[in-house]
Amino acid sequence: MDLEWKKLDEHSYKAGYKRFLKKAFSLPNGEHRDIDIKDEGKTVCIFAMTTTGSILMTRQYRPGPEKILTELPGDYIGFDEVPIVAARTKLVEETGYEGDLEFICTSLDGAYSNMVRHNFVAKNCVKKNALHLDHVKFVEVVEMSLKNFIQHLRAGQLTNLDTGYLALDYLGIFHFNERKKE
- The C-alpha atoms of residue 44 and residue 38 are separated, in whole angstroms, by 17
* pLDDT surpassing 90 at residue 29: yes
What average pLDDT score do residues 114-123 get?
96
pLDDT band at 7 (very low <50, low <70, confident <90, very high): very high
Rounded to two decimals, the pTM is 0.87
pLDDT tens for residues 47-94?
A: 999 999 999 999 999 888 999 999 999 999 988 999 999 999 999 999
Q: What's phi and psi for 178, nearest 5 deg?
A: -115, 35
Contacts of 130 (CB under 8 A, 6+ apart): 96
- Looking at residue 1, its pLDDT comes to 80
Q: What's phi and psi for 27, nearest 5 deg?
A: -80, 165
The percent of residues in the chain predicted with pLDDT above 70, rounded, is: 92
For the chain, what is the mean pLDDT? 91
pLDDT band at 160 (very low <50, low <70, confident <90, very high): very high
**Residue 74 burial (CB < 10 Å; 0-12/13-18/19+)?**
buried
Q: Tell me, what DSSP letter sits at residue 110?
A: -
What average pLDDT score do residues 89-112 get?
95
Per-residue buried b or exposed e for 42-60, using 16+ beta carbons within 10 Å of the residue's own CB: bbbbbbbbbeeebbbbbee
* pLDDT surpassing 70 at residue 175: no
